[in-house]
Every structure is written in C-alpha cells, then in structure tokens.
Chains A and B, each alone.
Chain A
Amino acid sequence: ETARARLDAFAKGLQSVSAGFEQTVFDANDKPGKKTSGTLAVQAPRQFRWDVSKPYEQQIVADGMHVWIYDPDLEQVTVRSQSVEEAHSPLTVLTDLAQLDRDFAASEQGEHDGLSWLRLKSKAKEPEFEYADFGFACADAAKKTCGGAVVLQRMLFKDTLGNRTETRFSDWQRNPKLAADRFTFTPPPGVDVIGEVKPGAEVHPLND
C-alpha cells in the first residue's frame, strides 16, 4: 500500500479536519531549538487555523481571503492577503488534493519509524521550502494495510536553509462539527491591527 494511497484514503471525503500538534525546529546541524504545541484545523478549500498554546500563545487564522496572525506578547495582529501565503503551505493540501497535484510533485519515500512516507516538493519557481514529508499510519496500528482508515502522524518540513521542522499530530477529528466562526478572526478590542483588509471582503467558501 503506497503512501500516496494512504494520503488519498486520508483525504477522501475530507471536508474539514482538526488535530493537536507538537512541533520542534532543528537547525541545519540538527540541534533542536524551539518546541511549540497547540491545535490546528483545516477546512476545504482554503481555510485553516494554527493555534499555538505552549510555551506562548499565538493564533494564525486563514479565513479564505486573509491570513491573520495574533501574537498577544507583541500586542499586535498582522493581516495579509491569503493568496500568497496559503499557496505555499503544505497543510491546506490535506483538504484539497487537486491543489496538491497542481502545486506539488509527490514521491514515495518508503517505510520508516512504522510509517509510510510521501514527499511533496513544490513546483514553484522559487519554492519557499525544500520539501515536506508526510508520515501515514493505519488508524488500527496492528494492521499492515489500512483499508481506508489512515492517520497522518508526522510531518517533516525542510526549508531552503537546511532547517528541519518536525511536527507530530494527535487526536485527528475527521469532518468535526466546527463552529461557524472557527475560521473568522475578530481582533481583540484595543489591539493594533497592521496590514489592510480589503473592505467588503466577504468570505464565501467555494464548495466546488
């Protein structure tokens, strides 16, 4: 069973997904650096949330039109148009396989650490990262072939300067009932917002 088959099984019928994450960044000489944990949610076709809760708080919300980043320590929200940002994020491909094949070249990386690995390399002229590896397991750990019940357990992300970001996922919820405003960001009162929001930018999830 190839890693691609597992990705297809994982993404099949997936409109939205949420999970917990633990992320560690390793520098080019593999020295572990910053470790963060929190939750993520993705909803087809272009919305996602990345909420860091430890060791600090940071909210990243892509609402389909803009990417909002709220950092309470910096007492500031920055907002940018989403088109540039999310096109380069391997996260959103989970709920939009068509985008995966358009923007990335996928290649099998075989089995290691009990997972079956798929590598995504960006097709962009100046890619923002070297590659992203997805490590899939069967939901039922005992099984060799997953029979459709697949879990994305790890993501490994190599950037252009040789740093490696290791993300471990937990507690996947498939098509969870997400609150309507889950992907809407409202700046907290009194906090500076940097960057412009295109007025009247209504958000209509384009359910094709």
Chain B
Amino acid sequence: MINKNGDGGADAGQPAVRAHDLRVRRGGREVLRGLDFAVPAGSVTGLLGPSGCGKTTLMRAVVGAQKGVTGTLEVLGRPAGSAALRPRLGYVTQAPSVYADLTVRQNLEYFAAVLGLARSTRAAEVERVLDEVDLAARATALTRNLSGGQRSRVSLAAALLGAPELLVLDEPTVGLDPVLRNALWGLFHRLADERGTTLLISSHVMDEADRCERLVLMREGRVLAEDSPPALRARSGVATVEEAFLALVAADADNEKDNAGADNDNAADDTRHREA
C-alpha cells in the first residue's frame, strides 16, 4: 500500500493525501460514499461543497479523528490515523478549539508542550505563530475576551506550532472580515511556497475557490470534480468556479434521476476519473 518513489515525501511526487474508495458510515448512514481523490504535496487544495456534504467528516478522517472509515486513505505515505503522523499534522476544527479560560499565550504554550517541542524552542515558536496570525498584541489577553475572529486565529496559531507538513483547516476564514481573510490566504500560500506545507482547506464560500491551486468539489458525500480552478471553469465553459460548481451539481442531479441504482456510481466515476 505504501509505495514510495523516494525518501523525500514532499518532492517525491507522492501526494500528501490519497484516497481510494473512501467510505464513512455514521449512525447507519453512509456519509462519504466512495471517494477517490489526491492532494498534491505542497499544494493549497480547497475542499468545496454545500454545508452537510461531508467536508468535515472527510477532514476528520484525514487527521484520524473519524470512526467508521473504510477504503484507502493515505496521509504523508502512511495510513490515516497512524501515531507517527500526529506530530506532522496541524488540524483546525470549525469551532475554535482552544481554552477560553487561558490567555492566548498560555494556550499556545500548552499545545507546544503537548507537541513535544523542546522547552528551549517553545517560547520562540509561540512568538512566531503569534506573529503569523497577527495576534502578538493580544498574547496576554484571556481567550474568552477575544472576538470570534481572534479566537479562531488562536486556534489556527495552535495548528501552526511545530511547522507541520500537512495542515487541515476546516473553514478557517468563516466569519472573518475581508482584510483578515486576505491576510490569511496570503499566509496559507506563504506556508506552501516557503515551507512546502500542504494545505487542505474547506470552505462553502465559492469566492475563495480561486485562491486555491486545486479544488475538490463535493456534493452529498461524493467527489463531483477535482481539478485546478481554471480547468474547472473551462470544462463547463463558465466564468466562475461557482457557476462551474452549479453546472456540475445540475449534471449530477440529472444523472441521479436518469440512472437509478448501480448506474449512479458509474456516472459519478466519470466526473472524478482525472487523478485516478
């Protein structure tokens, strides 16, 4: 299952995340229904789709927090959820997962300790991520007293500790003002360009799609399409990714109507054969 082309990981051409026939059952319902996709190493890949289409479940599967996963899911060359992956991943949940009754710095110092960063490098590392999310001025503030946007940046900062190879960010820009959103997307691209970090970022805001190098479009637990934003627009002959997505959804809904049962899967396969 692990076939490495080289030792380098990121430069070896091996994808950072590779899924084949990935399925997740939750409470008797199949939430992810046979996904095939790949996230190229060092890329900023957007995971787009309407609320409830399975984005969060997919991200939780990638970081190893999701129960009931079947099929193949390789992360950085290892099965998702392997203990060895834990120090190499950064994960930001949709709701900020930080301690409201600690200061910003105390939060980050704790997570740095949990990561196992050497005591001597911890303080500098905390300052670095504070700068990256532009919260250095609020370092001593109680997290509970911050605004919602600031709190989600504390959560992001915690994921940046230790310079992880793969960052999985669940709607990191939701509820942020346009200036801040712009700054964060700048940061995401810097991380990919300068550090070779792979970023998998979910969003249901289509205007963020053009910020990504690659897109995985999801609908109702399946991958509708997987490509670069220009290629997706060209494929449907439309001007925006949003229109491309709507066209794909309409085609998908038609397919569902036309081919009931098993044919349904074949139709979906046609639209996601590209990376296979």
The answer to whether A and B belong to the same complex is: no
Binding site for A on B (CB under 8 A): none
